[in-house]
Amino acid sequence: MTHRRLVGITASTAFGLLLTLASGTAAADAPLGVPARLGEVLATAQAQGFAGEVLVADANTVWFEQAVGLARRKPGVAHQPGAVWRWGSVSKQVTVTLAMQLVDAGQLKLDDTLAQRWPAFQAPGAAQITVRHLMQHLSGLAYTGDSPRDADGVWSFYRRKGPPWQPDALRFCAGPAKAAPGERFQYGDCDTLVLAGLLEHVTGQPIRQLMQQRLAQPLKLRSLRLNEGRTRAMAVAMDASGQAVPQPVMATYGAAGAMEGTARDLLSFNRAVLAGRVVSAASRRAMWTGEPKWGYAGLGVWAFTAPIAGCAEPVQLVERRGYVGGIQARNIIVPERGVSVVVFSNQADFDFGEIWQGKGFSHELLAAALCATAAGPAAPVRQ
């Protein structure tokens, strides 16, 4: 169903069409009214250009699982629940979790420096850059966005040829620094690429092997993989005009953005972290403590409290976003309720909004899932 055909119809009609045409399921034992409210939010978003998959669940039950719109236009292939998606920078959340497992095992400390643990990595500030700096984007390392853009507007760092990709990436990241360690927040991929290199140095295992042995196999995440030169992701990223988005070489993102898997496997990862089956409570608390000074960045995630329309009290949230080659991801955890909201979209220009501003698709999904009513936008408290 196209955007133009949905514009102008009522919310109830849109919801009826959604239930008829969208692929997916809503659990019968979800909280009363939640599947219907989530369906209405998704129908509205589809009318505004959203295409992709939405999964909402608690620790035991999938409340809502729907896929809408087209994964490919030529030929026309509809989205289906259970598709493999690019996780994009949700990969950073996974990589930080792997690192926290080493912290729990006593193999690494958050205040260890690169110079202490990996002397061979000769980067500016290595004697001051800590593991925590890498996780929180405070390292000051080189920025991949400083590489030249090609004719498609893609940074040359992400069009590199390989394999292998990691050695060349580490050489780039060891280049001229952007800032002194701990001086300022600068989001970028070098922090996570270097963190992955450190993990490989400490354990003697490649990051893909660590990911499989420590997460995918124990948690039975059968779809989870690191893209190392080919992809299983089916969705083609499109812009607002329906044109395909120019693509990077996915493998160049490494542990910072090249993981792929289903929404269900990402949900299983969330559930395992919440249940204490992946890292200790102390490590989870360290990851999920947002620092206001740095825009509420935690370790590998953003963690903040926000008012949600219809909820009596502000809600504690853990959010991780992803965007690689036009594929968008949102992984939102509500720790106090054990709820996860996982969203993927191949609409590169779709605006998810800002939760803390009390508006937009992400906020409306949370309001529908968590709150008895959606009484209009809530006042922001984050900034």
What is the C-alpha to C-alpha distance for residues 187 and 295, in angstroms, rounded to an integer?
11
Three-state secondary structure of 110-137: CCCEHHHHCCCCCCCCCCCCEHHHHHHC
Q: Residue 207: CB partners within 8 Å, gap ≥ 6? A: 95, 98, 196, 199, 200, 226, 254, 255
Sign of the torsion angle spanned by Cα atoms 43, 44, 45, 51: positive
| Predicted structure pTM score | 0.91
pLDDT of residue 13: 36
| Token pair in block for residue 207 | 């990051």
Q: Residue 106: CB partners within 8 Å, gap ≥ 6? A: none
Strands of the 52-57 sheet, one edge to the other: 23-25, 62-68, 52-57, 339-345, 327-334, 315-324, 302-306
pLDDT of residue 232: 65
Could you tell me where the DSSP H helices lie in the chain?
3-6, 11-21, 34-47, 90-104, 114-117, 131-136, 166-173, 190-203, 207-211, 217-219, 263-274, 281-287, 361-370
The string of DSSP letters for 76-118 reads TEE--TT--EE-TTHHHHHHHHHHHHHHHTTS--TT-BHHHH-
Decide if 199 contacts 117 (C-beta within 8 A).
no
Distance of CA 174 to the CA centre of its chain: 26
Decide if 300 contacts 93 (C-beta within 8 A).
yes
CB atoms within 10 A of CB 2: 12
Nearest Cα neighbor of 44 from 360, 311, 369, 353 is 360
What is the C-alpha to C-alpha distance for residues 307 and 34, in angstroms, rounded to an integer?
19
pLDDT digit of tens for each residue in the chain (383 aa)? Answer: 333 223 333 333 343 334 334 456 555 589 999 999 999 999 999 999 999 999 999 999 999 999 999 999 888 899 999 999 999 999 999 999 999 999 999 999 999 999 999 999 999 999 999 999 999 999 999 999 999 999 999 999 999 998 999 999 999 999 999 999 999 999 999 999 999 999 999 999 999 999 999 999 999 999 999 999 876 667 999 999 999 999 999 999 999 999 999 999 999 999 999 999 999 999 999 999 999 999 999 999 999 999 999 999 999 999 999 999 999 999 999 999 999 999 999 999 999 999 999 999 999 999 999 997 544 433 333 33
Q: Which domains does the chain have, with CATH numbers?
A: 3-81+272-370 (no CATH), 90-259 (3.40.710.10)
CB atoms within 10 A of CB 217: 12
Look at the block and give the residue holding tokens 């959340």: 93
Query: Phi and psi at residue 253, in whole multiples of 5°?
Result: -75, -20
| Token pair in block for residue 332 | 């939102």
